Structure 1
Amino acid sequence: MPIPFYACMVAAATAFHLPVHALPAIQRAEGGWVGAVQPNKDGSHDLGLMQVNTRWIKPLSQGTGLPPQTVATRLILEPCFNITMAAFILRNYVDEEHGNMWQAIGDYHSHTPGLNTAYKFRVMQEALNLPPLPAPATHAKPHVKKHARRHKPEALAAD
């Protein structure tokens, strides 16, 4: 079964210098879909395909220059925007963890040690179970604003 929105995942992974398989594995672990709004026990919600937590709306709004409601709506309804913002979030965690990709993947879910570890194993299992993926197209590039700085969400905010 092909990975939904794989081209968007490849473009976002490439733009944020992430392993190409990371985003499909995270998406499968998250179990999100276009239109998803999943409540959490703490009152936050996970949105869209990559289940981006609503705690990220304000920083993503500031980074993209989009109003918070627009960011929320796009996270829910626009899968490539959601994937790109998830890649931005993961890249930030990779940087925080000094390049430790697996710790960053755990952080994407939770900073609570037990939850973090369990999530890493879940994503690892999903990565092992991914179908054979096509080679990334060399021309797959996200929409990048002119003079955009690396690791900033506005660099990939589609108009």
Structure 2
Amino acid sequence: MAGELASGPSDARVAMVTECIKAAATAHRLPPGVLMILLNVEGGKLGRVSQNTNDTVDIGPMQINQIWIPAVARHWRAGAAATRDALLNSFCANVEAGAWILRTGIDEARGDFWEGVAFYHSHSPEHKATYLRAVLRQVVKLQDVVARNTGPRPVAAAGG
């Protein structure tokens, strides 16, 4: 068991997560990387809810606020209870809902990508700014990881 934990997620799990992110991104015309960044910023976990100070909860990996349940249920043509259960227990459903909410925000912002990303979190100016700073920190962190893992690239010799 300890070796299993140390080795990280299984190839099958990585493939499932990757496919869910790609499918949600494609369906909602989003770069898959932005969903990965939001997953990291939100920091939610499958099967868990997070209590907010305004007496609502955020659900699952993309931290879908419970106020979205009726709209997501209509989007999925499902009941509210089934929608909440899917958001809580299905990674793919949670990411699809998050992607749909993000696309809704970008559309509301008349195509302004970063305003739409901010709307994913809040419409309040101070909360939007704080959220965008968190997103930017995550982008920088991921760039650092990529740079460390790829290292310097060889430069091709001039003339061939």
* Structure 2 residue identity aligned to 1:13: A
Runs of 4+ in 1 over 6 A off after TM superposition: none
Partner of 1:49: 61
Partner of 1:83: 95
Is this contact kept in 2: 1:6–1:24, CA < 8 A?
Answer: no
1:35-46 correspondence to structure 2 within 5 Å: 35-46=47-58
When structure 1 is superposed on structure 2, of 89-98 and 119-128 the one drifting more is 119-128
Q: Which runs of 5+ in 2 are unaligned?
A: 1-7, 147-160
When structure 1 is superposed on structure 2, of 44-53 and 120-129 the one drifting more is 120-129
Partner of 1:19: 31
Is 1:28 the counterpart of 2:40 in the alignment? yes
Deviations 1:100-145 (A, max 9, x none): 111111111111101101101111221232254xxxxxxxxxxxxx
Partner of 1:140: none
More helix by share: 2
Q: TM-score, normalised by structure 1?
A: 0.77
* Larger RCO (alpha carbons 8 Å, 6+ apart): 1
Q: How many residues align?
A: 132
Per the TM alignment, residue 6 of structure 1 is displaced from its structure 2 partner at its CA by 2.6
1:105-116 correspondence to structure 2 within 5 Å: 105-116=117-128
Per the TM alignment, residue 87 of structure 1 is displaced from its structure 2 partner at its CA by 0.3
Partner of 1:128: 140
Is this contact kept in 2: 1:97–1:103, CA < 8 A?
Answer: yes
Partner of 1:102: 114
* Structure 2 residue identity aligned to 1:103: E
Partner of 1:61: 73
The residue matched to 1:126 in structure 2 has which SS?
helix
Partner of 2:3: none
Q: Which runs of 5+ in 1 are unaligned?
A: 133-159
Is 1:93 the counterpart of 2:105 in the alignment? yes
Task: Give the superposed CA RMSD.
Answer: 1.8
When structure 1 is superposed on structure 2, of 101-110 and 6-15 the one drifting more is 6-15
* Structure 1 residue identity aligned to 2:127: L
Is this contact kept in 2: 1:21–1:127, CA < 8 A?
Answer: no
The residue matched to 1:46 in structure 2 has which SS?
strand
Is this contact kept in 2: 1:39–1:45, CA < 8 A?
Answer: yes
